[in-house]
């Protein structure tokens, strides 16, 4: 019982105090002050000056509009034609993207009926009735019919004549190399009330160049293809995909007038890639002739452009963490 009472007394009525010792020693004092200076230099130099840990950041709200200029002339099958922006630009190919046509295949006067397809057969048994034809050209009727003299081929029911598969080379719209693209990008950082645009001041006759005119919003199509690492003559035959990145990296330690974009252009696949041979899609123009529905089928080959806005703004704050984001979900693309 006495032992328990002693333990209780020690716990309740005894306490420890730190003992201060004043050491007068030059080497110890110098080491102590150097450690303090090192910690202070790390906080001021690295955390505040280099990493700017005193800043807070905001995400961007962005909108992009694109305006194309240029015309092309073609004379396919003695059919002369002028192509303007309304003819060769196809919007809404995806979020923040559009296509500029560089080549095409046209199959005119198609109507639904029976016709022949490529390939050889010997008898009707080689043509399974109701089977769909490769390339979605139609379905087999079950008949093996004469084709080009002594040859025989399976008859199909579908849009006839069947689609032309010959890709023009050189591409029909080689003039697209000199088309121009005007990119207008407006951004806002809501937290700081900062709004910027890439077209505040520029020479309307300028053409973008990474070194000599990096703020010009007008791009030559051929230059964009070159910057992406492609040869325009080759990519124009079957099409391709290119990303235009608009990067805003703004530091409000300085005036907002120093907040300007940089452009990053690159292809979505390698030059020698075999898995992605190009970019194409089809559309049809329907009409009535002699009470029969007909169509002109057009297979478009073009360059798909995806415009992506990246952004980060940092501003002085008492407390803040610095982070960056990739693409704002509120970014929009408008074609004019």
Strand-strand pairing, 55-58 and 292-316:
antiparallel
**DSSP type of residue 163:** P
* Contact indicator for 196, 251 with CB cutoff of 8 Å: no
Radius of gyration of the chain (CA): 35
12 found inside a domain: no
DSSP state string for 248-290: EEEETTS-GGG--EEEEEEESS-TT-SS----EEEEEEEEEET
30 found inside a domain: no
Residues 131 and 264 in one domain: no
Query: Does the annotation flag 299 for ligand binding?
Result: yes
Which residue is it, tokens 């009470």? Answer: 291
**210: which residues sit within 8 A by CB, 6+ positions away?**
227, 263
45 found inside a domain: no
Residue 257, both tokens: 């007038």
CA distance 275 to 96: 24
Query: Does the annotation flag 69 for ligand binding?
Result: yes
Residues 176 and 145 in one domain: no
- Mean pLDDT for each consecutive 10-residue tract of the chain (336 residues)? 67 70 73 79 64 55 84 82 86 79 93 84 87 78 84 88 89 94 86 78 84 91 93 92 89 72 84 67 91 92 91 59 38 52
Give the domain extent around 138. 118-160
Please, what is the end-to-end C-alpha distance for the chain in angstroms?
94
Last residue of a domain, one of 128, 160, 192: 160
CA distance 272 to 304: 18
DSSP state string for 164-225: P-PPPSS-TTGGGGG-EEEEEEEEEETTTTEEEETTSS--TT---BTTTBTT--EEEHHHHH
* Global model pTM greater than 0.85: no
The domain that holds 217 is classified in CATH as: 2.60.490.10
42 found inside a domain: no
31 found inside a domain: no
Residue 297's SS3 state is strand
Query: Does the annotation flag 326 for ligand binding?
Result: no
**168: which residues sit within 8 A by CB, 6+ positions away?**
76, 103, 104, 105, 237
Residues 80 and 140 in one domain: no
Domain count, the chain: 2
Residues 232 and 325 in one domain: yes
CB atoms < 10 A from the CB of 107, how many?
A: 19
Residues 262 and 246 in one domain: yes
Residues 100 and 140 in one domain: no
Any idea of the CA torsion for 281, 233, 99, 269, to the nearest 10 degrees?
A: 80
Query: Does the annotation flag 180 for ligand binding?
Result: yes
* Contact indicator for 141, 117 with CB cutoff of 8 Å: no
* Contact indicator for 304, 236 with CB cutoff of 8 Å: no
What is the structure's pLDDT at 330?
42
Q: Which of these, 242, 218, 220, 219, lies nearest to 230 by C-alpha position?
A: 242
Residues 271 and 196 in one domain: yes
Query: Does the annotation flag 98 for ligand binding?
Result: no
Query: Does the annotation flag 241 for ligand binding?
Result: no
What is the structure's pLDDT at 220?
95
What contacts 24+ positions apart, CB below 8 Å, involve 24-33? none
270 found inside a domain: yes
Query: Does the annotation flag 19 for ligand binding?
Result: no
Residues 147 and 295 in one domain: no
**DSSP type of residue 54:** T
CA distance 305 to 266: 10
Residues 155 and 284 in one domain: no
Query: Does the annotation flag 68 for ligand binding?
Result: yes
b vs e for 34-43, b when ≥16 Cβ sit within 10 Å of the residue's Cβ?
A: eeeeeeeeee
Q: Which of these, 158, 96, 108, lies nearest to 131 by C-alpha position?
A: 158
Phi/psi-derived region of residue 127, left when phi > 0, alpha when psi is between -120 and 50, beta in every other case? beta
């Amino acid at each position: 019982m006495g032992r328990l009472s002693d333990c209780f007394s020690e716990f309740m009525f005894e306490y420890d105090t730190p003992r201060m010792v004043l050491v007068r020693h030059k080497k110890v004092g110098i080491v102590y002050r150097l450690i303090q200076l090192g910690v202070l230099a790390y906080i001021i130099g690295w955390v505040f000056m280099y990493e700017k840990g005193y800043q807070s950041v905001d995400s961007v709200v962005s909108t992009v509009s694109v305006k194309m200029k240029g015309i092309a002339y073609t004379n396919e099958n003695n059919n002369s034609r002028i192509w303007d922006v309304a003819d060769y630009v196809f919007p809404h190919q995806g979020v923040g993207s559009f296509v500029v046509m560089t080549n095409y295949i046209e199959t005119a006067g198609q109507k639904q009926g029976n016709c022949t397809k490529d390939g050889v057969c010997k008898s009707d048994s080689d043509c399974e009735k109701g089977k769909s034809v490769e390339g979605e050209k139609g379905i087999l009727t079950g008949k093996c019919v004469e084709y080009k003299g002594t040859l025989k081929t399976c008859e199909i029911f579908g849009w006839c004549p069947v689609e032309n598969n010959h890709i023009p080379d050189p591409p029909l719209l080689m003039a697209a190399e000199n088309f121009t693209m005007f990119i207008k990008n407006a951004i806002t950082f809501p937290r700081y009330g900062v709004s910027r645009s890439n077209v505040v001041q520029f020479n309307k006759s300028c053409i973008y160049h990474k070194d000599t005119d990096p703020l010009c919003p007008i791009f030559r199509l051929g230059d964009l293809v070159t910057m992406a690492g492609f040869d325009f003559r080759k990519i124009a035959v079957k099409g391709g995909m290119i990303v235009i990145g608009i990067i805003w990296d703004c530091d409000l330690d300085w005036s907002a007038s120093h907040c300007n974009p940089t452009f990053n252009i690159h292809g979505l696949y390698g030059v020698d890639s075999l898995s992605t041979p190009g970019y194409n899609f089809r559309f049809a123009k329907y009409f009535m002739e002699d009470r029969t529905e007909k169509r002109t089928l057009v297979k478009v080959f073009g360059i798909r452009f995806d415009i992506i806005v990246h952004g980060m703004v940092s501003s002085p704050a008492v407390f803040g963490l610095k982070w960056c984001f990739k693409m704002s979900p509120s970014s929009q693309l408008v074609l004019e």
